[in-house]
Amino acid sequence: MGLPAWLRAVERATRPYDPEFVAAMERRWAELPEVARTPGQIIGRHGVGCEGTHGVFPKCNLKCTPCYHSRDANQVRVDGPHTREQVAAQMGLLRELRGPRAHTQLIGGEVSLLPPDDHAATLAIMREQGREPMSFTHGDFDYDYLRRLALGPDGRRRFARLSFAAHFDKFMYGRRGIERPSSERALNPYRARFAAMFARLRRELGVRSFLAHNMTVTPGNLDEVAAVIRDCHAMGYGMFSFQPAAFLGDERRWKEHYREASPDAVWQQIERGAGSRLDYDVFHNGDVRCNRTAYGFYVGSHWFPFLDGSDPRDLAVRDAFFRYLGKVSFTGTPPALLVAKLLRIVARHPTTVAFAGSWLARTVRRVGLGRLLRHRFRVRPVTFVMHLFMDAEQVTPAWELTQRGETSDDPKVRETQERLAACQYSMAHPEDGTLVPACVQHAVLDPAENAALRKLLPIVEVRTTSARNS
């Protein structure tokens, strides 16, 4: 390649904005209901929302109360070829409808029931379609599994980075070593063990990781949420996500009056654990009635927000970010290439330097230079999230109306329709070319889907000789 051609290639590669990514966000913004088009809305301005898989490996080897999967889920065989085939089809549709970049969960039942090679091949399929995958797990597997996932048969690294979301709460029964946890605190050694496996993976193999901690909240563990955050914030998790329990999935596992753990009550507990007010109106991910998010960082044991919602100067920084950087695809872009793109934006819009400099100075003052010096400027980004799933009895009638193109006159049903239209978590159905919100998947579609999978991938119990002769 001659120098002129090389320079043209570099110019194209370092263009700040990918037209396909921008077009996908514009479509997403147009789909949002008016109530979700807020100044802090991320969907349609810096991403298209999150995605998840379905119908790929619904079986789990723990028993949770509640469980969002239908009663047939545990009667479906875990099958690597089926998982790879279905994920490839779903990712292809997401690539077509949601553009070239997104964060996607590899989720179903328990991901570690997949053989490591099939798990790795599935992650590779997701990345080929521009997805940044996160594997969803209960965390009850050993380091050997993680190592075999990270290394190929030739002993070479398959991935430079792995992302996992691990779900821990005391109403998950069957975990090795702690069959029925007596409290959330009793699970802390298991939370620490899980995070430590990834620290070891980086030390030994150089594989980086991002870990999210998930927890279902019911009236039975609501008052333990704050302690979980205080005890676990330094273990290595970059996100703590809490889900107030909903009446979804297998009704045999509905054990409590879940709605007594209200969204406000859960968020207050998260704030107590963080030791700080968490302003979830600075940034929105879809409908705030579904999702609350606070982005920030720890310095030592103190958490600070990246942006202070009570400071108009910080809100101006947010608006400038959307204006100048919102269309940049951060996900999946190599660091050196991302820096080149950002430098081109700075060259075109020098005011971004002033915004960044003033924000940095304010943030240092808020944290305190002394605190930063004591902790050697070690900053640990940690995001707090709450996802409020809706009950099946809310979702079903609202979705039926939406499918008919109708808007309900009932305020509660209309609210559900708005929340579904703004959902940040979508699942793909290649058989009919549609995307559905996660609440619709669990409330409306999972029962029939898992019943069909039970026939397609039955679990065949083989009786032993001793059993046959007894």
What are 303-315's pLDDT values in tens digits? Answer: 999 999 999 999 9
**Mean pLDDT within 174-189:** 97
**Tokens 């005890």, residue?**
231
Do 438 and 389 touch, CB atoms closer than 8 A?
yes
The pLDDT value recorded for residue 243 is: 95
Question: What angle (nearest 5°) sits at the alpha carbon of residue 301, between those of residues 300 and 303?
Answer: 95
Measured in whole angstroms, how far is the alpha carbon of residue 97 from the centre of its chain?
A: 19
Give the pairing of strands 380-387 and 291-299: antiparallel
| pLDDT surpassing 90 at residue 1 | no
Least confident stretch, 8-17, 255-264, 447-456: 255-264
The pLDDT value recorded for residue 469 is: 43
Task: Let me know how long the chain is.
Answer: 470
Give the pairing of strands 302-305 and 380-387: unpaired
What mean pLDDT value characterizes the chain?
A: 94
Query: Residue type for 381, please?
Result: P
Neighbour tally for 121: CB within 10 Å: 18
Is 445 or 463 the better-scoring residue by pLDDT?
Answer: 445
pLDDT bin (cut points 50, 70, 90) of residue 260 is: confident
Q: How many CA atoms lie within 13 A of 371 on its CB side?
A: 14
- Alpha-carbon distance of 311 to 315, in angstroms, equals 7
For 323, phi then psi, to 5°, come to: -70, -45
Do 349 and 321 touch, CB atoms closer than 8 A?
no
What are 88-118's pLDDT values in tens digits? Answer: 999 999 999 999 999 999 998 999 999 999 9
The pLDDT value recorded for residue 463 is: 53
**Tokens 């991910």, residue?**
285
- Alpha-carbon distance of 470 to 62, in angstroms, equals 30
The pLDDT value recorded for residue 259 is: 76
Do 79 and 259 touch, CB atoms closer than 8 A?
no
| pLDDT surpassing 70 at residue 77 | yes
The pLDDT value recorded for residue 206 is: 97
What are 217-245's pLDDT values in tens digits? Answer: 999 999 999 999 999 999 999 999 999 98
Domains and CATH numbers, the chain: 34-300+379-402+417-465 (3.20.20), 314-377 (no CATH)
**Mean pLDDT within 130-142:** 97
- Give the burial class of 289: count Cβ atoms within 10 A of its Cβ; 0-12 exposed, 13-18 middle, 19 or more buried: middle
Q: Where are the alpha helices (DSSP H) in 58-187?
A: 80-98, 116-128, 143-150
Measured in whole angstroms, how far is the alpha carbon of residue 28 from the centre of its chain?
A: 18
- In the chain, the N- to C-terminal Cα span, in Å, equals 76
What are 372-416's pLDDT values in tens digits? Answer: 999 999 999 999 999 999 999 999 999 999 999 999 999 999 999
| pLDDT surpassing 90 at residue 23 | yes
Is 284 or 447 the better-scoring residue by pLDDT?
Answer: 284
- Alpha-carbon distance of 330 to 180, in angstroms, equals 41
Do 388 and 286 touch, CB atoms closer than 8 A?
no
Least confident stretch, 61-65, 181-185, 314-318, 323-327: 61-65
Own/partner pairs for 76-79, CB < 8 Å, 24+ apart? 76/109, 76/450, 76/453, 76/454, 76/457, 76/458, 76/459, 77/457, 77/458, 77/459, 77/460, 78/109, 78/113, 78/114, 79/457
**Tokens 């994920």, residue?**
87
The pLDDT value recorded for residue 470 is: 39
Q: Tokens at residue 46, please? A: 């810096």
- Give the burial class of 323: count Cβ atoms within 10 A of its Cβ; 0-12 exposed, 13-18 middle, 19 or more buried: middle
The pLDDT value recorded for residue 231 is: 98
Global pTM value: 0.94
pLDDT bin (cut points 50, 70, 90) of residue 255 is: confident
The pLDDT value recorded for residue 98 is: 96
pLDDT exceeding 70 applies to what percent of the chain? 98
pLDDT bin (cut points 50, 70, 90) of residue 466 is: very low
